[in-house]
Structure 1
Amino acid sequence: MGRTVKDVRLQDRASRSRLPVSADIYWRTINEGCHLGYYRGARGGKWVARHRKAGSGTGYVKERIGEADDVRDADGITVLDWKQAQAKAHDWFEGQARGGVKPAGPFTVGDALDEYSANFKTRTGAVPTDMTSRIEIIRAVLGELEVASLTQTVISDWFNARASSPKMVRTKKGAEPSVRPVDTKEALRKRRSTANRLLTVLKAALNLTAETREWLPVAAWAKVKPFKGVDVANRRYLNDDEARRLVNASEPEFRPMVLASLLTGARYGELRHAKVKDYDRQSRTVYLMEAKNAHPRPAYLDDEGTQMIETAVAGKAPGDLLFTRPSGTQWKQADQLRRMNDAFDRAKIDKTTFHDLRRTYGARLARKGVAMAVIAEAMGHKDERITRKHYAHLAPSYVSETVRNAVSGMGIVEKTNVVPLGKSA
């Protein structure tokens, strides 16, 4: 490794914090034709290396080699301090001197997906199940293709095929595979929405790859645009009567999971990973560690919720799971499907999903007039806009009351003895 040079502007985070945010890179010469640069963005800095082979007469080759330790402490892998950045730059300079930036073997979409998954895990601690599923769906078709050979046509054809392909239907073990045809506007909307999510993951993986490989054809995927107007908020919520009927109709061993979601707004995955030690009796909260996007959050308990959790923790050790199957093992991802369908049949309620129990929790808060910011915090939404998309129409508001008062009083509907459900005559 080459010598380590000093630079009072760049060698510590305090000095770098005083540099203005700029599109220009602050360069420091390491050796002839070799420079280490620092790019200061609004959300932190990046280390960039550039190299020009002596006597070549060509321009510089650049590569981003890591994130600066402006916000997070250096780990020597993806987040680097000044000394670590120089060490990594020296290794890269030596590679350049031996021959170029392209890898010896083909770099495939599958390799890009692996890099993206590893990077996501490094930054957040875990890769969500739904993202892992989307990565594998992409890999099944595009995984063996070389990224350098991708074209807009290849990406567009794959994307459009996903948007119009029949949806696979889950069947019992040993049964023949089954599909649901895309034969209605609603079915087509859902398939296009799913295709959009896959495209988002694919673009994120390829963009991350292209940050350090300037020779990749970014335009091949950048020009493929998602479908517009296909993502709509799910409007399925249970009213209090339906929620009680569903709880009573649930299998006894699965009932605690249903109760917990209705009383905390927790996702199925969060509940099946929750442990006894995550419950704080004094603050009456359950800390959900396996939350979506690896952002742990507290679930706040009312009297019923506290009673439910106290029952769940009775006789268990701190490291035990809060909710388990009758065998004492962890609930699996697919265990809720049949149990939910059977419970809806017994309760005589239109079938929906376990996730709608979480939506029911959010809807109850909105109907009570709870501020959107509070609901967002309680449900672990990263952005209040997500909360408004799903629940703002349920909340009492000046607009809704003003409109109702303004249009009332025409007297054109004959009064009857019909009483809305949930109200007494």
Structure 2
Amino acid sequence: MATPRDTPASRRVRANGDGTVYQRKDGRWEAAGYVLAPGNTRRRVRVYGTTRKEALAKLTEKIATSNRGLPIPSAQGSVTAYLTYWLENVAVHHLRENTHTRYTAVARLYLIPGLGRKKLARLTAKDVRTWLNRLRTTCQCCARSLDTARDQRLCCAAGRCCSKRLSPLTLTYVHSVLKSALEHAVCEEEIPRNVARNVRTGTPRPRRFEPLTAEEAREFLAAASGHRLQPLFELALHTGLRKGELLGLRWEDLDLAGGTASIRRTLQRTNSGGLTALPTKTKSSERRIALPTPCLRSLEQHRDRQLKERKAAGTGWKDNGYVFTRPDGAPIEGATLTRHFNTLLHRARLRRIRFHDLRHSAATLLLEQGVELVVIKELLGHAHIGVTATVYAHVRLRLQRDAIDLLSSALRTPAATASQPDDGDDSPLCAAPVR
């Protein structure tokens, strides 16, 4: 009688649950077995190999993964199909409209052209890393055929590449969109793990900004004196409010008697609703701040001016309750505010900066005055104090250098101290206890 050792390898009986392995007519080996599937069910899978050992190893790996409680991927579609599903059915309900628009643009310009044809279940960290490296070194004029649409060819169509590559910040943003999409695929048990998280893009350098110095800030406020939106510019420079938060302020949010303002919304333009009042950027951005005395006086004068404009407009007044409006009461566009801001910079003969740099200027000047970082964090509405510390790290470093210089002066040698002229009016030095 033949023993199991005498039985050919291809005909040995495998234990229950180990699956089956056999050779196909085309010469390849096929292994099949039941593994864990999404929804706590089991599904039969098939793997192939050029040898029996290779097919068996693949099946054993899938069974071992299943025994650890990880379901096998059920996503048989492409990355393009899943990105389309995620943007249209998931992200649209969890993201703000402008953020969803940016995510859609990232998927259309970078994710789908680079990874769209790959199967979602077969996407690997190596695929993501290769795609990011190619995206980092590819000229976008060439990749997106931007030069062919120009009247005057400047790049590839003219025979010379302008090397317009993505910035590190943009590359990190593109990578984060992919991670968000794959993270939801993991939550829906479409794939076992988020392979994009295993790829590091490096920490990009923060965007450099040039805040106004104290002297420049005074010159800017002098140029804004008498301007119709003078209270808005004063608020921006004294409190560091964002542009949308300033434009979204309503009179009901201000307590001029108590000297406070409640930040509850932001005014932004969206593709579907036009100029719309939206919730603040984060939950921490919804806050109440103290208003300085100069701003309170300017706001009271601005309220009286707005009442006169309302009487002059009559029935044509568009009552929205906003603090800063156009002469007819309609809300102000962000682009319109930027134009007024640039005009004031030119009038004051100051360098060109962004409106958002007024926010950075307020925080920088507060830090230089010795205000605690946690107070600035609450004023700016940052979600975490680490954000404040990271953005204004260069300011803190300068303050540390000043503090070290003060300490160095205190620790100078007695000879250096004695070399200074003594007018005889100071009392002699004496030892003091150190606490």
TM-score, normalised via structure 1 length: 0.58
**Deviation readout 1:26-76 (Å, 9 max, x if unpaired):** xxxxxxxxxxxxxxxxxxxxxxx84225999x8699899xxxxxxxxxxxx
Question: 1: CA distance between counterparts of 2:234 and 2:161?
Answer: 35
**2:331 aligned residue:** 330
Question: 2: CA distance between counterparts of 1:201 and 1:406?
Answer: 53
Decide which of 272, 294, 305 is 2:295's aligned counterpart. Answer: 305
**1:205 aligned residue:** 181
**Compared CA separation, residues 107 and 283, structure 1 to 2 (3 A):** farther
**Compared CA separation, residues 213 and 403, structure 1 to 2 (3 A):** farther
**Deviation readout 1:144-201 (Å, 9 max, x if unpaired):** 5367175426742574268x648xxxxxxxx9899999989xx98x921232233223
**2:106 aligned residue:** 138
Matches within 5 A, 1:158-197: 159-160=135-136, 165=140, 191-197=167-173
Q: Indicate yes or no: 2:186 matched with 1:218.
A: no
**Compared CA separation, residues 51 and 179, structure 1 to 2 (3 A):** farther
1:245 and 1:347 in contact (8 A); partners too: yes
Query: Could you tell me which amino acid in structure 2 is paired with residue 304 of structure 1?
Result: P
**Compared CA separation, residues 260 and 318, structure 1 to 2 (3 A):** farther
Decide which of 132, 150, 155 is 1:156's aligned counterpart. Answer: 132
1:346 offset after TM fit, Å?
2.1
**Compared CA separation, residues 285 and 202, structure 1 to 2 (3 A):** farther
1:116 offset after TM fit, Å?
5.5
**Compared CA separation, residues 378 and 194, structure 1 to 2 (3 A):** same
**Compared CA separation, residues 153 and 196, structure 1 to 2 (3 A):** closer
Question: 1: CA distance between counterparts of 2:183 and 2:287?
Answer: 30
Decide which of 232, 238, 252 is 2:227's aligned counterpart. Answer: 252
**1:110 aligned residue:** 84
Q: Indicate yes or no: 2:402 matched with 1:392.
A: no
1:405 offset after TM fit, Å?
6.0
SS at structure 1 position matched to 2:227 = coil
Decide which of 90, 94, 114 is 1:120's aligned counterpart. Answer: 94
**2:246 aligned residue:** 271
* Unpaired segments ≥5 residues, structure 2: 1-37, 46-62, 142-149, 267-279, 311-317, 418-435
1:369 offset after TM fit, Å?
0.9
Question: 2: CA distance between counterparts of 1:208 and 1:266?
Answer: 34
Decide which of 407, 424, 432 is 1:402's aligned counterpart. Answer: 407
**2:384 aligned residue:** 383
1:134 and 1:198 in contact (8 A); partners too: no
**Deviation readout 1:73-119 (Å, 9 max, x if unpaired):** xxxxxxxxxxxxxxxxxxxxxxxxxxx95589973323324456345
1:237 and 1:363 in contact (8 A); partners too: yes
**Compared CA separation, residues 153 and 366, structure 1 to 2 (3 A):** closer
**Compared CA separation, residues 109 and 280, structure 1 to 2 (3 A):** same
**Compared CA separation, residues 143 and 359, structure 1 to 2 (3 A):** same
1:260 and 1:266 in contact (8 A); partners too: yes
TM-score, normalised via structure 2 length: 0.57
Determine what percentage of the aligned residue pairs are the same residue: 18
Question: 2: CA distance between counterparts of 1:249 and 1:114?
Answer: 48
* Unpaired segments ≥5 residues, structure 1: 1-48, 65-99, 167-174, 411-425
**Compared CA separation, residues 108 and 306, structure 1 to 2 (3 A):** same
SS at structure 2 position matched to 1:107 = helix
2:75 and 2:190 in contact (8 A); partners too: no
Number of residue-to-residue matches in the alignment: 310
**Deviation readout 1:372-424 (Å, 9 max, x if unpaired):** 111111111222222223042354764352256669989xxxxxxxxxxxxxx
Which of these two proteins has the greater Rg computed from alpha carbons? 2
Query: Could you tell me which amino acid in structure 1 is paired with residue 200 of structure 2?
Result: K
Matches within 5 A, 1:25-36: none
2:320 and 2:330 in contact (8 A); partners too: no
SS at structure 1 position matched to 2:81 = coil
Query: Could you tell me which amino acid in structure 1 is paired with residue 217 of structure 2?
Result: A
SS at structure 2 position matched to 1:287 = strand
Question: 1: CA distance between counterparts of 2:110 and 2:69?
Answer: 28
SS at structure 2 position matched to 1:215 = coil
1:301 offset after TM fit, Å?
0.5
SS at structure 1 position matched to 2:282 = helix
Question: 2: CA distance between counterparts of 1:263 and 1:53?
Answer: 63
**1:11 aligned residue:** none
Question: 1: CA distance between counterparts of 2:152 and 2:262?
Answer: 39
**1:292 aligned residue:** 281
Question: 1: CA distance between counterparts of 2:332 and 2:251?
Answer: 15
1:356 offset after TM fit, Å?
0.9
SS at structure 2 position matched to 1:299 = strand
SS at structure 2 position matched to 1:236 = coil
SS at structure 2 position matched to 1:274 = coil
**Compared CA separation, residues 240 and 256, structure 1 to 2 (3 A):** same
**1:39 aligned residue:** none
RMSD: 4.6
Question: 2: CA distance between counterparts of 1:242 and 1:357?
Answer: 11
2:154 and 2:162 in contact (8 A); partners too: no
Question: 2: CA distance between counterparts of 1:177 and 1:207?
Answer: 43
